[in-house]
Amino acid sequence: MSRDRSDDRLEDVLARAHGQLGIAVYDGLMGRGGPPELRDPDQVLGRLLAAAHRRTGDAVVGRLARRHGRGPVERAIEKGNAPAEGLLMRRSAPVRLKYREQALGCARRCWPLDAVQVTEIAVEAVRDLISSLEDEVLPDEMCDRLLRLSRDVGRVLALPQSAQLPSALVGYDYLDEVDDYLSTCAARLVAQARSSKQLLDSELLPYFGAPEVSWLGMLEVSQDLADDLDLAHREAMALSKAVAAVKEASTDFRGADLRSVELNGVDLEGIRWDASTNWPPEWEQRIWKASLATGAGHGELIVGAEPHDSTVPADI
């Protein structure tokens, strides 16, 4: 193995270790109420770990910058290390629970409409147009159908941009990770939808106002539009999966240790848990009373909106 390749592998390991340490330190701090004050010895330890992590990060970034002129984030992007669906579930359960309402709010903002359905309808409409053009037939209602398609695809362009939420330890804040995950998928979908709408509005629809029908020209543009809309549909599916992953990370707390979480003010409705989930002792009875079996088997429970008259059997 060459020296350069060996150095690259070492830098990758350092960057990955630095990232994992940052997540662990951040989740440990935020899961217990936020950055500590210098009083309790355990909190002092947390502050020292955070400081050590920052210094380690500075050293890693400096080393990479000297050799390659770029840091670990850029190198990760080049290698395609984008957030995967399962990574959110690996974050600390107390942090996921503490910020579940904000995370679910991010998901709702990124999914105000069913973009998968919008793009499916658009693809179907353009394929119908292609079929008609191949037969040199142009249905009377096709222009109106394409105008509705343009309007609906335009709604996709209104998906929100990144909220740029502030973080205590930049790059490791859980809500930053959620926002980056969703906004990256949304940005790709918006870009593809914009390209499709421009092609539709500027190149295909003008054919309907022309004095003579150019079958070949309309067919070529329609085929290009179908390809663009297929890509938009794939990006819509990716965003749909990202939204589902955020909801899953904000809902699934089976087997989680939540004893350190301050639950006052936290919306627990809809949370899935089981007998191996550890709640704060003062909340345990209330959680059992407010929960029902999901019917999914394996002792899975879901927290309801209101307490029940009887407690769910502990041996479920």
d(CA 167, CA 161): 18
DSSP for 212-245 reads S--HHHHHHHHHHHHHHHHHHHHHHHHHHHHHHH
The verdict on residue 90 lying in a domain is no
Mean pLDDT of 248-255: 94
| Cα atoms in the Cβ-side hemisphere of radius 13 Å centred on 132 | 16
The helix-helix angle for 3-30 and 174-199 (nearest 10°) equals: 110
Are 185 and 305 found together in one domain? no
Closest residue by Cα to residue 117 from 161, 139, 160, 149: 149
Are 174 and 244 found together in one domain? yes
Are 139 and 244 found together in one domain? yes
State how far the alpha carbon of 78 is from the alpha carbons of 1, 61, 82, 273, 286, in Å: 22, 16, 9, 38, 48
Are 203 and 262 found together in one domain? no
The verdict on residue 86 lying in a domain is no
The verdict on residue 19 lying in a domain is yes
Residue with the bigger pLDDT between 238 and 298: it is 238
Share of the chain above pLDDT 90, in %: 48
Whether 130 contacts 226, CB under 8 Å: yes
Q: Residue 50: pLDDT band by 50, 70, 90 thresholds?
A: low
The verdict on residue 92 lying in a domain is no
State how far the alpha carbon of 138 is from the alpha carbons of 121, 122, 129, in Å: 19, 17, 8
Mean pLDDT of 76-82: 38
Are 255 and 244 found together in one domain? no
Determine the pLDDT at residue 167. Answer: 44
The verdict on residue 76 lying in a domain is yes
pLDDT tens profile 128-155: 999 999 998 888 899 999 999 999 999 9
> For 4-18, 157-171, 273-287, which range has the lowest pLDDT when averaged over its residues?
157-171
Are 230 and 133 found together in one domain? yes
The verdict on residue 202 lying in a domain is yes
Q: Residue 170: pLDDT band by 50, 70, 90 thresholds?
A: very low
Q: In the predicted model, is pLDDT for residue 290 greater than 50?
A: yes
Are 145 and 220 found together in one domain? yes
Domain with 60, as residue range(s), is 3-81
Number of compact structural domains in the chain: 3
Are 22 and 149 found together in one domain? no
Are 65 and 133 found together in one domain? no
The verdict on residue 203 lying in a domain is yes
Are 240 and 258 found together in one domain? no
Are 300 and 207 found together in one domain? no
CATH code at position 194: 1.20.120
The verdict on residue 294 lying in a domain is yes
Mean pLDDT of 69-98: 61
pLDDT tens profile 182-209: 999 999 999 999 999 999 999 999 998 8
- The pTM (predicted TM-score) of the whole model is 0.70
Are 193 and 245 found together in one domain? yes
Q: In the predicted model, is pLDDT for residue 223 greater than 80?
A: yes
